[in-house]
Chain A
Amino acid sequence: MSVQSAVTRKPGGTPVPTTDGPRAGRSGGAWIRALFARRPSGINLAPVLLGLVVVCVGFQTANSNFLTPWNLTNLSLQVASVGVIAVGVVVILLLGEIDLSVAAISGFCGAVLGVLNVQLGWNAWLSIVVAVSVGIAIGTFQGTVVTYFRVPAFVITLAGLIGLQGWTLALFGDRTAINFDYDGDVAKLTATFLSPLAGWLIAIGATAALAYFTLAERARLKAAGLEHSDLRTQVLKLVGIAVGLGGAVAVFNRDRGVPLAVFIFVGIVVVMDYVVRQTRFGVRLLAIGGNAEAARRAGIPVQRIRIAAFAIGSGLAAFGGVLAASRLIAATTQSGAGDTLINAIAAAVIGGTSLFGGRGSVYSALVGILIIGSISNGMDLLALPSAAKFIITSMVLLLAVVVDAIAARGSRSQLRE
């Protein structure tokens, strides 16, 4: 689908604002709405990708080290852990809820991993599984409280945030950090790079699989006489994805190869995108985010899906915490504190997932975290002070939220018509 302009995708109803013509200037938000018009399958990523390019070109101009394979590899390793957390945030935002405890969960589960793996000497993989399960359990608990006691999620998860910081401190006791074995499996999770050949095989395999599935789907639609995208558009899109994937692998291979953690992060994005867009659970999740009352009347088990979404969000937050601990080779009392929460939520929103529920895409976590990570990494390269970093990150988030609100107002005013 798509490449058609966003404007022509809205048949019937009131005329959708267009980017040209005298009417465009009348309302300040009209052209933004048109540019950010949402696609039926989720969101329009084009403006966000454009933003990413602007950020990258800007920093490259300021510091020629920015777009080097070494820096880009580091950048992607830096963002992988918060990126995974952001995927969980997207799932919960799609439901129309918020989870303020994701960063605290990531810190707590990193600490659990440390206690199990280092202090108790458990096997690394078993420790990781248990740490993530603890995250899922926390999410299930919070989701249950939110669902059955009808308490706003932000209050419950705010309580969770503070409580989990307490539990984390309790786990550490007198220590401020638990250090992992430098050559252990936990550390290897983010210190492993795929061989150049493996990188290429993955890129080729992924492109081939994507080409097969999209073209097969297109053929199915065509055979059924349903609306299907034009073949040339489809092929162009595939070529674009192939070039993007190939380019990424080529850049990684010029440094140390594709980082395992990045591969896992992207894998999680792809799987969760499938879950959200192609499964019954995902359709129902979006339905609840769009109109919970309609979903309930349609017989959807709203409560169960809400709890499941919170469990998924917290499980991903826990895994993000595992990646963060692995990258630092330590769990500290500061893990998951600071700007982790704001970055995870900002990534989801900057990527285009709505705070108002039901609209967005898992890919927004990927693109959003790349933008946040690039800004943060670029400002580090320019040796900007922390003050400037916080201020600039907050301004980017503010901009994204305003754009989201304008876009949401656009679609709501259509509903009223």
Chain B
Amino acid sequence: MNALQSDPVLELVDIRKSYGPVNALRGVSLQLRPGEVHALVGDNGAGKSTLIKTITGVQPHDGGQILWRGEPMSFAGPRDAARRGISVVYQDLAVCGNLSVADNVFLGRESRHSGPLGSLLRRVDRTAMEQETLDLLRSLSVNLQKVRTPVEGLSGGQRQSVAIARALLGKPEVMLLDEPTAALSVAQTHEVLNLVRRLRDQGLAVVIVSHNLADVFAVSDVVTVLRLGQVAGRFDVRSSSQQEVVAAITGAEWGAGLPSLAEEPTTTEQELSR
């Protein structure tokens, strides 16, 4: 990591979370900086989704601290986290295929007309929504002119950009992308990775959760490896190899130092995350 780092916008200090007797997170620390892409990798059950849920306020943590610009804070729920500036784009996209691009971007936050059209006739201001959608997509250099077409007619990559545009709507400072390239073709993956770079260039702190190390190395600055609820390694992509990361994921270089397998939280955590 280079010396000229900006201050982290969000910092996790020694976060712990257990589900009954299962310790899903055993003291994870993480610093997210503006303009940096931070990849979270790890095997199934390593604690990635639990960590995401902690950051997005879906689930409270048991121990440790969350610092927002250095100030300790806790999120009351996902909406609270979103209001503070933390956005998530889920793996399964969560778009409504039957709605237009603009309606999807503004889903749950539809603008209403000003004047009697809005107050009396409750009319949604599609012109404003479509315009802002176009602006958002342009800021991401996404070439998608038809903001009135239903999302189901779009390619996977285009749909991913709609989901990202929606996450950008609240002007977040931290954006979490859960498996953004899963189930995408090579060209679409390329498209989405470019989007991630653009988010970074806009000064967001980006977190991507991914199983695909090639994608992780293509786009991120820092890689944090989780294993059995702990940070098993932190790598600067410019000075690390994929082999080192794989070794950290599988625990090859740790071996004896790890907690016994009897406590492995795999099954329970996966069940709970459903």
Whether A associates with B in a native complex is yes
Give residues in A with beta carbon < 8 Å to B. 1, 9-13, 16, 38, 40, 220-221, 224-227, 274, 278-284, 286-287, 289-291, 293-295, 297-300, 358-359, 411, 414-415, 417
Are B152 and A286 closer than 8 Å at their CB atoms? no
Kindly state the interface size class of chain B when it binds its partner: 35 or more
Q: In the complex, A417→B82 CA distance in Å? A: 31
CB <8 Å contact, B127 and A221: yes
Q: Which 5 A-B pairs have the closest CB atoms?
A: A298-B108, A290-B98, A290-B96, A358-B98, A294-B94
Q: Say which residue of A1, A283, A415 sits within 8 Å of B103 (CB atoms).
A: A283
Give the docked Cα–Cα distance between A358 and B151 (Å). 13
Alpha-carbon gap, A217 to B124, bound state (A): 13
Contact of B110 among A221, A274, A283, A358 (CB under 8 A): A283
Of A1, A12, A274, A290, the contact of B99 (CB 8 Å cutoff) = A290
Q: Is the CB of B98 within 8 A of A283?
A: no
Provide the bound-state CA to CA distance between A294 and B167, in Å.
13
Binds A, one of B17-25, B39-47, B153-161: B153-161
B90 at interface, CB cutoff 8 A: yes
Residues of B within 8 Å of A226, CB to CB, are: 127, 130-131, 134, 147
Q: Is A294 within 8 A of B96, CB to CB?
A: yes
Question: By the criterion CB–CB under 8 Å, are A279 and B97 in contact?
Answer: no
Known: A281-B122, A291-B94. A300 touches B152 (CB 8 A): no
The yes or no answer to B26 lying at the interface (CB within 8 A) is: no
Instruction: Please indicate the chain A residues that have their CB under 8 angstroms from the CB of B110 in the complex.
Output: 280, 283-284
A12-B158, A290-B99 are known contacts; what are 5 more A-B pairs with Cβ within 8 Å? Answer: A38-B150, A221-B130, A226-B130, A226-B147, A227-B147
Interface string of B133-165 (1 = CB under 8 A from A): 010000000000111111011111010000000
Choose among B93, B98, B122, B166 the residue that contacts A280 (Cβ–Cβ < 8 A): B122
B94→A9 contact, CB < 8 A: no
CB-based contact B154/A12 at 8 Å: yes
What are 5 A-B contacts defined by CB distance under 8 Å? A283-B124, A290-B96, A297-B90, A299-B109, A300-B108
Q: Which residues of chain B from 77 to 131 have a CB within 8 Å of any chain A CB? A: 79, 82, 90, 93-100, 103, 107-110, 112, 121-124, 127, 130-131
Cβ–Cβ contact A287 & B99, under 8 A: yes
Q: Which residues of A contact B122 (CB under 8 A)?
A: 279-281
| Residues A295 and B154 in contact in the complex (CB < 8 Å), given A226-B134, A227-B146, A283-B124 | no
The docked-state distance in angstroms from the alpha carbon of A59 to that of B112 is 47
CB pair B153–A11 under 8 Å, yes or no, is yes
Given A279-B124, A281-B122, answer yes or no on A359-B98 (Cβ-Cβ < 8 Å). Answer: yes
A286 to B152, CA, bound (A): 14
Does B124 lie within 8 Å of A13, measured CB to CB?
Answer: no
Shortest beta-carbon distance, B163 to chain A, in Å? 9
Assess whether A286 is in contact with B98, with CB atoms less than 8 Å apart: yes
Q: Complex Cα distance A348/B267, Å?
A: 46
Residues of the A chain whose Cβ atoms lie less than 8 Å from the Cβ of B97: 290-291, 358, 411, 415
Given known contacts A290-B98, A294-B96, A300-B108, A279 and B123 CB-to-CB distance under 8 angstroms? yes
Q: For residue B153, which residues in chain A have a CB less than 8 angstroms away from its CB?
A: 9-13, 16, 414
Q: Which chain A residues border B127 with CB–CB below 8 Å?
A: 220-221, 224, 226
- Alpha-carbon gap, A280 to B122, bound state (A): 7
Partner of B107, one of A9, A40, A300, A359: A300
| A278→B123 contact, CB < 8 A | yes
Q: What CA separation (Å) do A414 and B152 show in the bound complex? A: 7
Q: Are A293 and B94 in contact (CB under 8 A)?
A: yes
Residues of A near B150 (CB, < 8 A) are: 38, 40
Complex: A52 Cα to B267 Cα, angstroms: 57
A36 shortest CB reach to chain B, Å: 15
Contact, CB under 8 Å: B107 / A295 = yes
Asked if residues B96 and A227 are in contact (CB atoms below 8 Å), the reply is no
**Closest Cβ neighbor of A359 among chain B residues:** B98
Q: Flag B27-66 by CB within 8 Å of A: 1 or 0 each.
A: 0000000000000000000000000000000000000000
Q: Is the CB of A280 within 8 A of B112?
A: yes
A265 to B199, CA, bound (A): 51
Instruction: For residue B105, give the distance in angstroms from its CB to the closest CB of chain A.
Output: 10
Question: Once the chains are docked, how many angstroms separate the CA of A28 from the CA of B98?
Answer: 24
**A286 / chain B contacts, CB cutoff of 8 Å:** 96, 98-99, 103
Q: Hey, which chain A residues are within 8 Å of B166, CB to CB? A: 298
> Which B residues are in CB contact (< 8 Å) with A290?
96-99
Q: Which residues of the partner chain B approach A414 to less than 8 Å between Cβ atoms?
A: 152-153
Rounded to whole angstroms, the CA-CA distance of A173 and B246 in the bound complex is 78
**Beta-carbon contact of B156 and A417 below 8 Å:** yes
B175 to chain A, nearest CB (A): 15
* Residue of chain A at shortest CB distance from B103: A283
With a cutoff of 8 Å between Cβ atoms, the chain A residues found around residue B107 in the complex are: 283, 287, 294-295, 298, 300
Min distance, Cβ B255 to any Cβ of chain A, angstroms = 40
Are B108's CB and A295's CB within 8 A? yes
Q: Chain B contacts of A280 at CB under 8 A?
A: 110, 112, 122, 124
